[in-house]
A and B are shown apart, each in its own frame.
Chain A
Amino acid sequence: AQTVTQSQPEMSVQEAETVTLSCTYDTSESDYYLFWYKQPPSRQMILVIRQEAYKQQNATENRFSVNFQKAAKSFSLKISDSQLGDAAMYFCASFTGNQFYFGTGTSLTVIP
């Protein structure tokens, strides 16, 4: 089975500052996709950003960007200009074959 590892159970950031959430994955496949999902207190899972493994360019979505290091199998999420609404659980995930694999999540606190 594929594994996705998030080594930071909890992180905190000052409002307006930048924070980076770490994720590593393990796959022998050459074709796969990587994702970051956000789960706020409402528990509704929301897609934050998506990266195709064959693309070298790092994906960005407004204040959210990734640092995709394919050789190192690393996929970190950077949140710039953090806002109170960014407080949530963040899950890293991979898609390969026909299944999604999720990490255990990082709980992000935003300090006013």
Chain B
Amino acid sequence: DGGITQSPKYLFRKEGQNVTLSCEQNLNHDAMYWYRQDPGQGLRLIYYSQIVNDFQKGDIAEGYSVSREKKESFPLTVTSAQKNPTAFYLCASSNEGHSGANVLTFGAGSRLTVL
């Protein structure tokens, strides 16, 4: 079945460490997104990518980095510069990156806790 796989589901990190969250999709979607979810704040966009080797900052990109070397993969690195990284992270993809029949398909999420 087609879908989005995020790993790991749970991750613990010590302060000062970088950590990478994996996101893989087999839906052949062009666009991929990373969102951060905190209680009471909905979903906030970190980064998005509409094509391979190109990505754009979202509203809260500081302290995060991404790459898009393959269409299927869009890993997110949470760097030590992110001041409050404890959160639930959601990866998503859509069938078009531009105005059209866009529907977001989400992964199951990754819960990052900084100790």
Contact A91 B103 (CB under 8 A): no
CB distance from A30 to the nearest CB of B (A): 10
Asked whether B42 lies within 8 Å of A47 as measured between CB atoms, the reply is: no
Interface size in chain B (residues, C-beta < 8 A) = 26
Given contacts A31-B99, A100-B33, contact A44 B106 (CB under 8 A): yes
Within 8 Å by CB of A44, from B42, B103, B108, lies B108
Q: Does B2 contact A (CB under 8 A)?
A: no
A84 interface residue per 8 A CB criterion: no
Chain A contact residue count (CB 8 A cutoff): 26
Query: B90 — which chain A residues lie within 8 A by C-beta?
Result: 45
Asked if B42 and A102 sit within 8 Å, CB to CB, the answer is yes
A43 within 8 A of B: yes
Of B12-20, B21-29, B43-51, B78-86, which binds chain A?
B43-51
Chain A residues positioned under 8 Å from B41 (CB to CB)? 104
B97 to chain A, nearest CB (A): 6
Q: Is the beta-carbon distance between A98 and B50 smaller than 8 angstroms?
A: yes
A50 touches B103 (CB 8 A): yes
A103 contacts B42, C-beta separation under 8 Å: yes
Residue contact A104 to B42, C-beta cutoff 8 Å: yes
In Å, the complex CA distance between A45 and B50 comes to 21
Q: Which residues B47-61 have CB closer than 8 A to chain A?
A: 48, 50, 58-59
B88-103 CB contacts (< 8 Å) to partner A:
88, 90, 92, 97-99, 102-103
Please determine whether A43 and B108 come into contact, CB atoms closer than 8 angstroms: yes
The distance in angstroms between the C-alpha atoms of A45 and B3, with both chains bound, is 12
Contact A47 B103 (CB under 8 A): yes
Bitwise interface map of A from 43 to 73 toward B, beta carbon under 8 Å scored 1, else 0: 1111100100000000000000000000000
Q: Knowing A33-B102, A104-B41, A104-B42 touch, does A99 contact B48 (C-beta < 8 A)?
A: yes
14 further A-B contacts with Cβ under 8 Å, apart from A43-B109, A102-B42, A105-B42, are A33-B102, A37-B104, A44-B106, A44-B109, A47-B105, A95-B99, A95-B102, A98-B50, A98-B98, A99-B45, A100-B45, A100-B104, A102-B43, A104-B40
